[in-house]
Amino acid sequence: MVKEEGDNRPGPPSWLDKNFIQRVLRSQDGDPTITVTSYEVSMANADGDGYLSYMYRIKATLQDSQERRVIVKCQPLGGQREELIESLDAYAKETQMLSETLPTMHRLLEQAKPGVYPPFTAKCLHHGKEPIPFIVMEDLRESGFTLATRQLGLDLAHCSLAMKTLARMHASSLALYDKNPEAVKCFKCPLRVDSRDLIAPFYENAVRSLSNEVAKWPGYEEYVPKLNKLVDTIFDRVVECYTRREDELNVLCHGDTWCNNMMFKYSNDTLEDMRFVDVQLSYFSSPALDLHYFLLSSASEEVRINHIDGLLQDYHTSFTETLSILDCSKYAISLEQLRKIFKDYSFYGFIVSAAVMPIAILEPENNFDVEEALAGNGDSSGRNAKLYENKLYVNAMKRLLPLFEKDGLLD
């Protein structure tokens, strides 16, 4: 495998060989005669983009000269990242989501309206735990799906499609919940108080880095003491946001709804379809969490300024229609109720702006260092601090901080 200069990620594991690929394809097709004559391996994502995974793109040539392509996703080993993955139960969760939960949700839609709704994600072809956790999926690129350019954020058309698709996923999870509550309620909060030592530094370092950057902005000095004070409580408040409230609307959330976890398909330059990827952080809780995560991390500045309420309306229409199709209208809420839920979780929007947005819109020459982010040494002056100097991020936060302050989110 050829890697780009400066790419420090390890090459493909030794078990990712011809025999492995052949077993996967034979299992997928139910054909024990498939023979792989040659194969190529390349990295499936850019250096710095695979925060909890290594992803490899496989091109296999068969005995009849046919080419087959798949994606193999596997768990990185070593360091705090491995501890984090195990604490989040990320691979077991994603395996269940891709092989059972999401396909079941799609089947409910297919039964209600055959041939109308596309799947939510790529098809899971194979998975296992040995020698390390891995998942084999179809290569969506072969079906014409691509990633959007993340630096400028998604425009209104992309955001509208994402909100409608997210609403359909949330609503179909309620149909599954109606039939089998444990099928979705088992996806628990990804953060717990007992994971503080491992995960709290990520949020604390993020708020420190934001505070250090804000201190450089003339006219914004008043926010610095409040941001510094938030460092001590930020993890507890994050856990509070994630914690399921049984007396409210809860759905199966994607959990990591930023633009690099969405692939889009176009027809004659017109946006046609999308798929979610990377469902390692899914959980059953308020839909507002997915909505804030997406809008604060991935919408363009123009969309965040002018179109949030319109996008909530798009979500609500799709959510309501899907519930009706699935004969689950008892879970429907009014648009005003959705607006209230969204507002009630506004602090989560601040969290996303401080900890996720800098990563989502980082400049191409910069990378996010997972190990540095998880370091519990209180240092916010390392490589990740440069992400907060990004002009796009600075401009966004100069507009958002006064809004957060007005809503009392910094107190």
Token pair in block for residue 234 = 């930020």
Q: Does residue 80 belong to any structural domain of this protein?
A: no
Whether pLDDT at 78 is above 80: no
Rg (CA), the chain: 21
Count Cβ atoms below 10 Å from residue 65 Cβ, excluding itself: 7
Residue 105: in which H helix or E strand, if any?
helix 102-112
HSE (side-chain half, CA atoms, 13 Å) at 274: 25
Q: Does residue 2 belong to any structural domain of this protein?
A: yes
Q: Residue 279: is it exposed, middle or buried by C-beta count within 10 angstroms (0-12/13-18/19+)? A: buried
Q: Does residue 211 belong to any structural domain of this protein?
A: yes
Cβ–Cβ < 8 Å for 291, 315: yes
Whether pLDDT at 50 is above 80: no
376 — pLDDT class (breaks 50, 70, 90): low
The verdict on 275 and 344 lying in the same domain is: yes
CB-based burial, 108-123: b 16+ in 10 Å, e otherwise = bbeebeeeebebbbbe
The verdict on 258 and 320 lying in the same domain is: yes
Q: Does residue 6 belong to any structural domain of this protein?
A: yes
Cβ–Cβ < 8 Å for 87, 198: yes
Domain that holds residue 70: 1-74
Tell if the pTM clears 0.75, that is, is over it: yes
Whether pLDDT at 407 is above 80: yes
The verdict on 162 and 295 lying in the same domain is: yes
The verdict on 29 and 93 lying in the same domain is: no
Q: Residue 48: is it exposed, middle or buried by C-beta count within 10 angstroms (0-12/13-18/19+)? A: middle
Whether pLDDT at 60 is above 90: yes
Count Cβ atoms below 10 Å from residue 390 Cβ, excluding itself: 19
381 — pLDDT class (breaks 50, 70, 90): low
Q: Residue 132: is it exposed, middle or buried by C-beta count within 10 angstroms (0-12/13-18/19+)? A: middle
CATH number at residue 26: 2.60.40
Query: Residue 388 carries which DSSP code?
Result: G
- What pLDDT does residue 47 have? 58
- What pLDDT does residue 86 have? 80
- What pLDDT does residue 227 have? 97
Whether pLDDT at 38 is above 80: yes
What's the average model confidence in pLDDT over 394-398? 96
Domain end residue (candidates: 14, 46, 74): 74
Q: Does residue 219 belong to any structural domain of this protein?
A: yes
Phi/psi at 68 (5° precision): -130, 140
7 — pLDDT class (breaks 50, 70, 90): low
Domain end residue (candidates: 74, 109, 138): 74
Average pLDDT, the chain: 91
Alpha-helix residue ranges (DSSP H) falling in 243-381: 287-298, 301-306, 308-325, 335-344, 346-355, 357-360, 370-374
Q: Does residue 376 belong to any structural domain of this protein?
A: yes
CA angle 292, 295, 301 (to 5 degrees): 140
Alpha-helix residue ranges (DSSP H) falling in 257-334: 287-298, 301-306, 308-325
Token pair in block for residue 129 = 């735990």
Cβ–Cβ < 8 Å for 261, 356: no
4 — pLDDT class (breaks 50, 70, 90): low
367 — pLDDT class (breaks 50, 70, 90): confident
Q: Does residue 128 belong to any structural domain of this protein?
A: no
Contacts of 255 (CB under 8 A, 6+ apart): 190, 279, 280, 281, 282, 283, 289, 290, 293
Indicate the number of domains in the chain: 2
